[in-house]
Amino acid sequence: LDMPWLAAQGHHVLGVELSPLAIEQFFAEQRLTPEQHQSPLGVHHVAGRIEIIQGDVFALDDATLASCHAV
C-alpha cells in the first residue's frame, strides 16, 4: 500500500474515504489504532503520519489541501 510507504518516508499522508468499514480495515491491517476527531469535513482518523477523513472528497476545502504537495 502506498499510504504506509509514504508515511515511512516521513510524509504526512491524507486520505479520504466514505466507507467506515474500509477505514477500519485499513488501520487493522496496518496494526494501527487511530485517534478520532470530528470536523465539518467528517470524522478524522489519525495514527502517526496517516490521516483518513471519513467523508466526501469533493467537500475538501482549500485550507485542508494547502499542506498537500502531491495527489
Contacts of residue 69, defined as CB under 8 A and 6 or more positions apart, other chains included, come to: none
Whole-angstrom distance, CA of residue 34 vs CA of residue 24: 9
Give 23-53 pLDDT, tens digit per residue: 999 999 999 999 999 999 999 999 999 999 9
- At residue 49, the 3 state secondary structure works out as coil
Confidence of residue 1 (pLDDT cuts 50, 70, 90): low
Q: What's the confidence (pLDDT) of residue 17?
A: 97
Q: Does the structure show a pLDDT above 90 at 15?
A: yes
What residue ranges do the domains of the chain occupy?
A: 2-65
In contact, 68 and 30? CB cutoff 8 Å? no
Question: 515511512: which residue's cell?
Answer: 8
pTM: 0.90
Whole-angstrom distance, CA of residue 16 vs CA of residue 41: 10
